[in-house]
Amino acid sequence: MYRITVASPGQVQVDEGLDLPQPGEGEALVKLLYGGICGTDLGTYRGTMAYTKYPCLPGHEFAVEVVSLPGDVAGLQVGMLATAVPYFNCGECYSCRRGLVNCCTSNKTMGVQREGAFSEFTAIPARRLVPATGLDPAEVAVVEPFCISWHGVARADVQPGERVLVVGAGTIGVFAGLAAKAKGARVYVSDVSAEKLRMAERFGFDGYLRNDSPEAMAEQVAQATGGDGFDVTVEAVGLAATFLACIQAVAFGGRVVVIGVSKQNADFFFTDIQRKELAIFGSRNALRRDFEQVIAAVRGGGLDLKQVVTDTYPARQAPQAFADFSADQGGKLKVLLDFTA
């Protein structure tokens, strides 16, 4: 058995000849088929992820085949294709007691605060597995990051015909745009990068705004909405400037969703929140129902997740995959590792 380890910043290695993991109580043994490299994994590789301890076993976006189960588990069978909810909640904090397990105050995400899935075989609590029968395994590996955006769009209760602006044309931004389109909204995407906007054009959104400056952005927003502003704006970058762009671009009585994670402070005229009577939603992780809804939408033909995959590497070429992704993050959306190769 082998696994992919980030031994230290900039150093990815393939560890061979390891023993097969022994599942504990309530755990299933699964074989990894595909794994997605996300921004968190990239931060671990670059040495910028605050929660990482080295050596690190990354990976929380994945498709697996179920090898063994701890007895009868409702909805699961050996040989079944699945993914998993990778956020481990404590079950005891106020958030958990209210069922808001995605907001657990002691959350531990696979590949960050606990071991990830980039191993040929791994053991995982069976109750965390989400069946994905009938889907392409490569598509299943993209379900988790899509759920992050799906959850954010659901927070804003996006309605058919509403105008939605997604600020940020990276992976999460594109996913948010696709999620809003699936809800029947008219979706516009904005970014400072012309290259990212060109990549976003492949997804057939309703419009594209180049965020060159606050003045240029305001003019484009006015043109796109007839001066009304957007019903919903989605922050998918994690910068103070992009959050402020969302506040400025949203209509009076509109909703703002913050998915991006930032280390910055934002200095702004907060009376705009009162003056516009805005509803501002934070969005963290995703819930099991998000996974189930996304898988159902893909199965029903309402979503094509494979279109976001720009690069696939054999898993044993992970050192090259991480290096390439780090060198050209702007030119790639979703990078997969193929553990079947």
- CB environment 141-167: b (16+ within 10 A), e (fewer): bbbbbbbbbbbbbbbbebeeebbbbbb
CATH 3.90.180.10 residue ranges of the chain are 3-141+304-338
Average pLDDT in the chain: 95
Given a contact cutoff of 8 angstroms between Cβ atoms, the answer to whether 92 and 32 are in contact is: no
Q: Which of 219-233, 256-270, 276-290 has the lowest mean pLDDT?
A: 256-270
Distance CA 240, CA 238 (A): 7
CATH for the 3-141+304-338 domain, from 3.90.180.10, 1.10.10.10, 3.40.50.300, 3.40.50.720: 3.90.180.10
Tell me yes or no: is domain 149-282 CATH 3.40.50.460.
Answer: no
- pLDDT tens for each residue of 179-191: 999 999 999 999 9
Which pLDDT value is given to residue 292? 97
Kindly report the pTM of this predicted structure.
Answer: 0.94
Which pLDDT value is given to residue 330? 81
Nearest to 45 by CA among 325, 338, 337, 330: 325
CATH 3.40.50.720 residue ranges of the chain are 149-282
